[in-house]
Amino acid sequence: MTVHPAFPPARPIGAQHPLIRDLLSVRKDGAPGRIMIEGNWEHDRLLATKTPIDTFFWCPEAGTTHAVDRIAERAAEVYRISEKLLTRLSRKTRSDGLISIVRLPVWRPQTFKFTSSSLVLVADGVEYAGNLGTLIRTVDAAKADCLVLTSRRARPSHPAVYSASRGTILSTPVLEFDDIGQAAAWLRDHRFRVHLADPAATGSYRSADYDGPTAFVVGSEGGGLSRTWHEQGCEAVSIPMLGQADSLNVALSAGILLFEARARKEGW
């Protein structure tokens, strides 16, 4: 096969190569801190950031030439794979033949500085990668400062997080605390008013005070908020349910809360 001269050379490798085994590990979320990115729009989003690419795998037979030269220029290593191997590696029904492994950015709690307009979302016990990705996307959309994870079960390095976040996992700060008390203390130290999203709360989110730095804590789909969060002395708020359902999807709830606070802060 003839490769377009503008495309950089790519060394062919097969299924037994150690890098393929490494890629499969990342694909299965077995390599915390690194994430698999696959497809055209996914790489467009990657290229819109300054994120370095560890390894780029390209299948010319897949028919795409989309941004191959730009991706390869960013990558530390570039390899060519066959259609058969691509089928084994791909998570998508229709692959574009572009797969990269990148390292997720690392964010440190001590580097953050907040203002009265600051917003933070805390996700406690998030279980599903799709929900985690959507929460990250929601934080980005509401111009919140960061997402804080406590007692999390889904990892940011799961490939589904990248898709669900529309790639904003590469630009949205995500912090993880090993202990809920540490996360609550960090918020208190920065003078946040913390609101727990609790369907059983009597106070509506519409009547809460959003002056100053504001944080919302949302729980998992299955178990809700940990009791430890309720022991932190935070105010609980609810979104009134007008139908038969007793609660909303966690990402939808987070979006309603964040945008209400953002609208108040900016006078929409």
Range in 7-11, 33-37, 174-178, 186-190 with the lowest mean pLDDT = 7-11
CB 124 within 8 A of CB 225: yes
- Cα 172 to chain center, whole Å? 7
Whether the predicted pLDDT of 5 surpasses 70? no
Q: How confident is the model at residue 4 (pLDDT cuts 50, 70, 90)?
A: very low
Q: Are residues 115 and 24 in the same domain?
A: no
Q: Are residues 234 and 218 in the same domain?
A: yes
Domain span including residue 184: 109-266
Residue 47 exposed, middle or buried by CB count within 10 Å (0-12, 13-18, 19+) = middle
Q: Are residues 62 and 168 in the same domain?
A: no
To the nearest whole percent, how much of the chain has pLDDT over 90?
Answer: 81
Tens of pLDDT, residue by residue over 22-44, are 999 999 998 999 999 999 999 99
Q: Are residues 150 and 86 in the same domain?
A: no
Query: Residue 179 contacts by C-beta under 8 Å, 6 or more apart in sequence?
Result: 150
Q: What is the CATH number of the domain that holds 22?
A: 3.30.1330.30
pTM given for the model: 0.92
Q: Classify 212 in phi/psi space as left (phi over 0), alpha (psi -120 to 50) or beta.
A: left
Instruction: Report d(CA 151, CA 225) in Å as an integer.
Output: 10
Instruction: Report d(CA 177, CA 151) in Å as an integer.
Output: 8
For residue 2, is it within any domain? no
Which tokens sit at 118?
């600051």
Q: Are residues 259 and 151 in the same domain?
A: yes
pLDDT of the residue at 70: 94
Whether the predicted pLDDT of 236 surpasses 50? yes
**Nearest 10 degrees: Cα torsion 56, 74, 36, 89:** -10
